[in-house]
Structure 1
Amino acid sequence: MAELSTPRQKISALVITYNEMGYIEKCIDSVSFADEILVVDSYSTDGTYEYLLDHPKVKVIQNPFENFTAQKSFTLKQATNDWVLFLDADEVVTESLQKEIIDTINSPNAQEAYWFYRKFMFQNEPLNFSGWQTDKNYRLFRRSKAHFTDRKIVHETLVVDGKSGILKEKLIHFCYKDYEDYKGKMLKYGRLKAKEDFYREKHFNYLLMTVKPIWKFFNHYILRLGFLDGKKGWTICYLNALGVLERFKTLKRLEKKNELAYYLVMP
């Protein structure tokens, strides 16, 4: 009697978006192999939602953006399949990575979650250094075995119940479309980190506001070899440091606003 073959594992591709035209098209095309493509949009105003709504392979839901952790946790709950591939809208899965993903989830020795290394693209040119050369993130995991911790609201952290592995093929990350786009992202991340600090009762400090942005630039541009990326390395390292500065400036504003509210309600 012939042995029954193991059923093929189904996978859901998940993405969160807000004004991602110019990125999302490549991302969606690269996950066309998935059994389900689910996108949660934060009320985009640049045509992203309309593009996704008209896409025959995409299920799109709109949900207000609170923070990255809350939005990704919401998205995770909407998935149909246990295996999920959770991407950012500016990430692209190569054909070789597609094959590795399919082979991995269908392996009898599959782990509960997998880290991906990423190849960063500055417009259409590779960014080889500038602090990103060892960057890796969880992108593939079993929904039943993982969740996003609510302790962080930006650079969300996945908690995995079980073993993790690392895929060999790299995920392509189109991190830089143009100067204003990347600057906007870094400032947004900085403000969210400030809110996270404020809720965790971390206090503003003038010394740290001076030292930390300088250290960020020095670390990425000198120690992490950003200068080898030429002009684009300088640009990326400067804007990353600017995001750190924005974090402290926002934390200072939040503390002042909190102090003002306290004095207004005092009898």
Structure 2
Amino acid sequence: MNNPSKISVLLITYNEINHIAEVIKNVDFADEIIVVDSFSTDGTLEKLAKFKHVKTICRAFTNFTEQRNFAIKQANFNWILFIDADERIPLELKNEIFEVINSNKNVAAYMFKRLYFFKKKRIRFSGFQTDTTYRLFKNGKVKYIENKLVHEMPEINGESAILKNTMLHYCFDSTAHYKSKMEHYAKLKALELHKKGKKTSVFQLLFRPFYKFVVNYFFRLGILDGKEGFQICYLSAYGVYFRYKELERLNNI
């Protein structure tokens, strides 16, 4: 890690055949690209094999936090850039990344703002308008908090800042894709709650999903995103319901 401006790009993947080639090309500015894949079965690994400059590691998936912490340990350079397969870095953001890592600022981590797309349509509201996520870190300054199994949160040793330019997030290709992701996240969140000894109640099963929908669709203006906004807000609420049904199942085992 002797060059302070070299970047290790890290991805964790599973069945990303629709995105993997494009995202690898999008981060071709990296000094190394490391993919930690959970034994994809859709051709993702075969596509990755065609990129000779990409290091692919197959590792069984337990949860997002564990997978990200494992990926961090593989990085060889001073800066780590995490990107998901369905995210893209526009030229303006790429230039800003290089600007900050060469600035000698005493900042250990940077957050990115994201623009969401659902079925190729830009989503401006529906709860996504204030979305930010940590994506750029100094190596050795970050570790993901181990008891957060989903919506993982990094523990930063140092100052953090937010970049001006935005990342693009083509998060869901279809309603079925969104539903499957909501169920996957809900299962991990339910397991996290189960480990903390939490219980399911009628309030959580009925009121929390309803509240989630009302807030995102009306107060966070999902209604202005058209039919896609309704679908997103409905499925986000469904994810909350599914979380507590899964928690109920775990508690009854």
**TM-score between the two structures when normalised by the length of structure 1:** 0.92
Which residue identity is paired with 1:121? Answer: F
Looking at structure 1, the residues matched to 140 and 11 of structure 2 have their Cα atoms a distance apart, in angstroms, of 18
Looking at structure 1, the residues matched to 23 and 101 of structure 2 have their Cα atoms a distance apart, in angstroms, of 20
What corresponds to 2:168 in structure 1?
172
Looking at structure 2, the residues matched to 104 and 173 of structure 1 have their Cα atoms a distance apart, in angstroms, of 22
What corresponds to 1:184 in structure 2?
180
Maintained 8 Å contact 2:3/2:77: no
Residues 98-121 of structure 1 deviation map (CA, whole Å, 9 limit, x = unaligned): 111011101122511001000001
SS in structure 2 opposite 1:175? Answer: strand
Match of 1:216 among 212, 215, 220: 212
CA RMSD of aligned residues (A): 1.2
The percent identity for this pair of structures is 45
SS in structure 2 opposite 1:107? Answer: coil
Which residue identity is paired with 2:5? Answer: Q
SS in structure 1 opposite 2:5? Answer: coil
Match of 1:111 among 87, 103, 107: 107
Looking at structure 2, the residues matched to 248 and 237 of structure 1 have their Cα atoms a distance apart, in angstroms, of 17
Residues 66-114 of structure 1 deviation map (CA, whole Å, 9 limit, x = unaligned): 0000111111111111210011111111111111101110112251100
Which residue identity is paired with 1:153? Answer: L
Maintained 8 Å contact 2:3/2:78: no
**TM-score between the two structures when normalised by the length of structure 2:** 0.97
Q: Which runs of 5+ in 1 are unaligned?
A: 1-5, 258-267
Shift in Å, 1:143: 2.0
What corresponds to 1:18 in structure 2?
14
Shift in Å, 1:124: 1.7
What corresponds to 1:237 in structure 2?
233
Maintained 8 Å contact 1:12/1:38: yes
In the alignment, structure 1 residue 70 sits paired with structure 2 residue 66: yes
Which residue identity is paired with 2:229? Answer: G
Shift in Å, 1:56: 2.3
Q: In terms of Rg, which structure is larger?
A: 1
What corresponds to 1:126 in structure 2?
122
Q: Which runs of 5+ in 2 are unaligned?
A: none
Report runs of 4+ in structure 1 exceeding 2 Å deviation: none
Maintained 8 Å contact 1:32/1:57: no
What corresponds to 1:145 in structure 2?
141
Which residue identity is paired with 2:58? Answer: Q
What corresponds to 2:193 in structure 1?
197
What corresponds to 2:91 in structure 1?
95
